[in-house]
Amino acid sequence: MTQAPEDFTPDSSERGHPGESRPAPHGPAPLVPGQRPAPEAPRPASPEPVLPQAAEGGAPMPQASPAVPMPEPTAPPSALPIDMAPPGMAHPGMAHPGQMGPRGPVPPGAMPPGPVPVSAMPPWPGPPRPLAYYAPRPDPKRSRLATVFIVVLLVATSVFAGALVNGWRPAMPAAETGSIEGLAVQPGEGTVPSPGPNAPESEILAYLREQAQLTLDAQAESLLNGSLEGWLAAYDPTLHEKMTGRFDSLTSMQVSRFDYTITSGPLEDASGAVPLYDISVALSYCFVEPADTCKAADIVFDTRWRAGDEGMTMIEVADSEYGQGPHPWEVTDLVAAVGERTVTAVPASMAARLDEALEVSEAAAANADEWAYWEKPDRYVIYIASDEEFDTWFGSGWDSEDVLGFALPLTGTNNGVREPSTYATVMGVDRTGWNEGLTSVIRHELGHAVTLWAAPSERYADDTWWMVEGVAEYIDHGDRALEDYDRMWDVRDYVDQGGCATDILPPGEEDDTLAGSGKYGCGFLGVHYVIDEYGVEKFSEFFGMTAREGTPAVDAAETVYGKSYADLMEEITAFIAQTV
């Protein structure tokens, strides 16, 4: 279940029970630990930590900026049916009309009183759009061994399924220790003076916000410089074991960009003995490629902080959610290997198979690069999972064991603009096996990555589905003869039942294995026909206008092929009927 930001209530001995409502921010300004409510108030016998105070006669205290209204989510070009949308697809930051805020009822569309992860980010681009990939039925003419191979090879993956690779080599030398050590940020650093004992709430929160941002920036610098000590300085010791694993995973994948932005908060929670502060954070990251040119991926997550004389310290860190989380390195200790074109990552338990996975991934990437007609991926990232990770990474939660893998379009902040960016692909190796099955599905899924990489307005609708899946099948099939296509017998039987007679539509819930596999095969034959008949240049133009840029196929067909889409589909379905 997707957790709304305002429901973020991680367990802590320093706060109430999960799910408890927070006190409304009415009344006097919150007290920072160690502050006295008035100058004449006596100091406790055992003084609490005291934040550094601004010097007398210093610059006036800046006021905290009001919360930025949450932008409405942007629907994908091809809207998903409601039952395909992940839980919580409704924009997580929007408040219900009438919800109480600091100044009374919240009007429709306004910011709720809790932390909202995407408040400072451009409009939400919509969630990823996974769909089951149907297995072909066994060929009755094949041997039993070949039948087993085919079932393993092509058992269902998702519509955007795929695998990217991050690889650790057992023989690789360990990274050098960075130069950043110890506490990264001393309290009081920055441009916002520390508040006085009678400071209003806005001054206290403005100060704490900057202190938290400085701590995050220093932590990111520690990560990029390979300093575990500097990385851990931002966390309470109770998080050190978990965050050491995260540090090792990210450095193994050769993280090259790690930019934090506070999107909302801090919001005080004074329900416990010590005030705590909730802060929502956005993070843009890259692997291997230079930070100023890479295609970043964004995540958004909630954090909880303690303020004291040691500075701002994170005591709780939630995993990212909201349709694209958690990312594998957030929840699993990974080892990774970096090749010429890929980053291949596997759970630490699979380290012995990593070189093998990297080799497969690199070959699949070289094959996919031949299809970089639009924008060449800077780096393919391939995660390989056991069943345990497969059910967790990116919130997949697949109901069907027929799904072998998936690829997700991710958004990222590039040059200050949040836009469609990179792809992440995940392979369920317990389902594919390590041999030809893994090879075929990675080739298929990297076919999705290369054809849809950074697509400005993906259109995954009835009139483009056959192209999106068909070209991925075409990229996997390569230059082999049509009679060697593994789904051909399914297409034959499906056409005999009346399938693909006038159109090629996506699989539906009512489809069995034959119909699902047959439709994938029809998509492959459709792409094969238009490329063979009209050339790959026209197909790339047609695909770019429709699947990548969102133009309806009925409009693009006239522009590219000089004929109606209905006439083009009539040619395609006639070719399918003649071929099978």
Pairwise CA distance, residues 535 & 533, whole Å:
6
Secondary structure of 297-339 in the HEC alphabet?
EEEEEEEEEEEECCEEEEEEECCCCCCCCCCHHHHCCEEEEEC
- Rounded to the nearest angstrom, the gap between the alpha carbon of residue 374 and the centroid of all alpha carbons in its chain is 22
> What spatial distance separates the first Cα and last Cα of the chain, rounded to whole Å?
44
Q: Closest by alpha carbon to 460, among 46, 29, 71, 77?
A: 77
| Banded model confidence at residue 550, pLDDT cuts 50, 70, 90 | very high
Same domain, 263 and 313: yes
333 in a structural domain: yes
Instruction: Look at residue 308 in the predicted model and tell me its pLDDT.
Output: 85
CB 448 within 8 A of CB 472: yes
Is the pLDDT assigned to residue 444 strictly greater than 90?
yes
Q: Closest by alpha carbon to 266, among 339, 214, 334, 205?
A: 205
| Banded model confidence at residue 113, pLDDT cuts 50, 70, 90 | very low
176 in a structural domain: no
Q: Which of 148-152, 174-178, 288-292, 414-418 has the highest mean pLDDT?
A: 288-292
Share of the chain above pLDDT 90, in %: 52
Q: Which residues partner with 154 through β-bridges?
A: none
Average pLDDT, the chain: 74
Is the pLDDT assigned to residue 124 strictly greater than 90?
no
DSSP labels, 218-256? HHHHHHHTT-HHHHHTTB-GGGHHHHHHHHHHHHHTTEE
Average pLDDT of the residues in 334-341: 97
CA angle, 147 then 475 then 483, to 5° = 45
299 in a structural domain: yes
Same domain, 574 and 481: yes
Pairwise CA distance, residues 325 & 404, whole Å:
19
User: Between 455 and 180, where is the model more confident?
Assistant: 455
Q: Which residue segment(s) compose the domain that 500 sits in?
A: 456-579
**Tally of domains in the chain:** 3
Torsion region of 242: left, alpha or beta (phi above 0 gives left; psi -120 to 50 gives alpha): alpha
Q: What are 375-394's pLDDT values in tens digits?
A: 999 999 999 999 989 988 99
Q: Do the strands 297-308 and 276-287 form a parallel or antiparallel pair, or are they unpaired?
A: antiparallel
Pairwise CA distance, residues 309 & 305, whole Å:
13
- Phi, psi (5° rounding) for residue 414? -125, 125
Same domain, 236 and 209: yes
Same domain, 460 and 448: no
Is this model's pTM higher than 0.75 or not?
Answer: no
Q: Which of 454, 471, 501 is a domain's end point?
A: 454
Is the pLDDT assigned to residue 459 strictly greater than 70?
yes
Average pLDDT of the residues in 463-492: 93
CB 321 within 8 A of CB 280: no
DSSP labels, 329-350? HHHS-EEEEE-SSEEEEEEGGG
Same domain, 308 and 376: no
69 in a structural domain: no
CB 450 within 8 A of CB 164: no
How many CA atoms does the CB half-sphere of 571 hold within 13 Å?
15
44 in a structural domain: no
DSSP labels, 365-394? HHHHHTT-SS---S-EEEEEE-HHHHTTGG
Q: What are 42-93's pLDDT values in tens digits?
A: 333 333 333 333 333 333 333 333 333 333 322 222 222 222 222 233 333 3
167 in a structural domain: no
Contacts of 2 (CB under 8 A, 6+ apart): 86, 87, 88, 89, 92, 321, 322, 323, 395
Q: Closest by alpha carbon to 156, among 377, 444, 577, 539?
A: 444
Q: What are 493-509's pLDDT values in tens digits?
A: 999 999 999 999 998 88
Same domain, 483 and 408: no
Q: For tokens 């080599």, what's the residue?
A: 169
Q: Which residues partner with 303 through β-bridges?
A: 279, 317
The CA-atom distances, in angstroms, between 508 and each of 35, 69, 260, 486, 553 are: 62, 38, 41, 21, 21
Out of 123-127, 160-164, 223-227, 561-565, least confident range: 160-164
Same domain, 434 and 509: no
266 prior amide bond cis, ω within 30: yes
CATH value at residue 298: 3.10.450.50
Is the pLDDT assigned to residue 41 strictly greater than 50?
no
Same domain, 354 and 296: no
363 in a structural domain: yes
Q: What are 293-310's pLDDT values in tens digits?
A: 999 999 999 999 999 888
How many CA atoms does the CB half-sphere of 371 hold within 13 Å?
28
Six-digit token pair at 414? 């590039």
CATH value at residue 409: 3.30.2010.30
Q: Which of 405, 421, 454 is a domain's end point?
A: 454
Q: Report the chain's C-alpha Rg in angstroms.
A: 27
Same domain, 394 and 468: no
347 in a structural domain: yes
326 prior amide bond cis, ω within 30: yes
User: Between 457 and 566, where is the model more confident?
Assistant: 566
Instruction: Look at residue 421 in the predicted model and tell me its pLDDT.
Output: 87
Q: Closest by alpha carbon to 288, among 366, 221, 381?
A: 381
Pairwise CA distance, residues 183 & 313, whole Å:
10
Contacts of 307 (CB under 8 A, 6+ apart): 32, 33, 49, 51, 208, 211, 275, 277
CB 154 within 8 A of CB 161: no
Same domain, 475 and 445: no
Is the pLDDT assigned to residue 97 strictly greater than 60?
no
Q: Which of 434, 454, 474 is a domain's end point?
A: 454
SS3 at position 417:
strand
Instruction: Look at residue 418 in the predicted model and tell me its pLDDT.
Output: 86
Same domain, 490 and 550: yes
Same domain, 210 and 302: yes
Instruction: Look at residue 397 in the predicted model and tell me its pLDDT.
Output: 66
